[in-house]
Structure 1
Amino acid sequence: MSHYTSIKTKYTNPVILKKVINKLGHPYVEHNFNKNIEIPMHFSKTLKSKIYENSNDNYLSFELRDLSYNIITDSQSWTQKEKTNVFLKKIELNYGYSETIAQALELGFIRSKVLTTNKNNNRFIFQRYVETKR
């Protein structure tokens, strides 16, 4: 059984990364043949329709290099360090969760139970049946 209290995440799967960004309710723009994912750091749902008019300022970007993404931000967004850190923590947790689930399912495991503990932590139980010949 594995237990994670903290996961250091390397972002390598663009499909899962974009899924997580959508899940968190943030719009994004893809550049350079989908190698860079830019997220405006306005944190307002009312700005979504006009958010890309000046997409080069106040942003956080995931840039694909050497098969994983580097995180880049402008100096204006970095001054909002608390909001940026909260956002990055949400990305990290959701990406780690989604990637773990996807890999387990790909390996033939089946999620059989989700248990919520009293600390708002979720515990996932996976099973995999392997037929053995005697």
Structure 2
Amino acid sequence: MSHYTSIKTKYTNPNVLKKVINKLGYPYVEHNNNNIIEVPVIFSKNLKSSIYENSYQNYLAFKSNNLSYDIVTDSQSWTQKEIISNFLKKLELNYSYSETINQALDLGFVRSKVLTTNNNNNRFVFQRCVEVKR
């Protein structure tokens, strides 16, 4: 059984990463064919057109580094360290959860139950039927 409260995560699946960013309610902009996924942490009406332009917007960017993404940010963002820490904590937890679910489904497991515990945590029960030939 897996239980996530805090986890160090490598972001390797851009589709899951974008899905989770949307789920958390943040917009994002993609650059260079998904090589850069930019997320404004402090909302602004206008997203920048490139992370390399000088701007006064607080953002995080996920830059593809072959097998995973590196996190890039501007120096202005560090004034909002608590907001960024909360965002990254939620992103890590939700990304890990989503990737675990995807991997389980790819391996042929089926989610059979969702149990809610007393402290409002959800437990997912997966099962996999294997046919044994005799």
- In the alignment, what sits opposite 1:112? 112
- In the alignment, what sits opposite 2:20? 20
Per-residue CA deviation, residues 41-71 of structure 1 (Å, 9 max, x unaligned), is 224xxx4xx3225764321000110310111
- Secondary structure, in 3 states, of the residue corresponding to 1:123? strand
Does structure 1 residue 97 correspond to structure 2 residue 92? no
**Aligned residues between the structures:** 129
Give the residue type in structure 2 aligned to 1:127. Q
Does structure 1 residue 51 correspond to structure 2 residue 46? yes
Structure 1 unaligned regions, length at least 5: none
**RMSD over aligned Cα atoms:** 1.6
Change (3 A) 1:10 1:51: same
How far apart are the structure 1 equivalents of 2:124 and 2:78?
Answer: 35
Structure 2 unaligned regions, length at least 5: none
How far apart are the structure 1 equivalents of 2:48 and 2:87?
Answer: 22
- TM-score w.r.t. structure 1 length? 0.88
- TM-score w.r.t. structure 2 length? 0.88
How far apart are the structure 1 equivalents of 2:78 and 2:122?
Answer: 31
How far apart are the structure 1 equivalents of 2:128 and 2:75?
Answer: 48
How far apart are the structure 2 equivalents of 1:27 and 1:97?
Answer: 20
Does structure 1 residue 36 correspond to structure 2 residue 36? yes
Give the residue type in structure 2 aligned to 1:81. K
1:71-82 aligned within 5 A: 71-82=71-82
Give the residue type in structure 2 aligned to 1:59. Y
Give the residue type in structure 1 aligned to 2:26. H
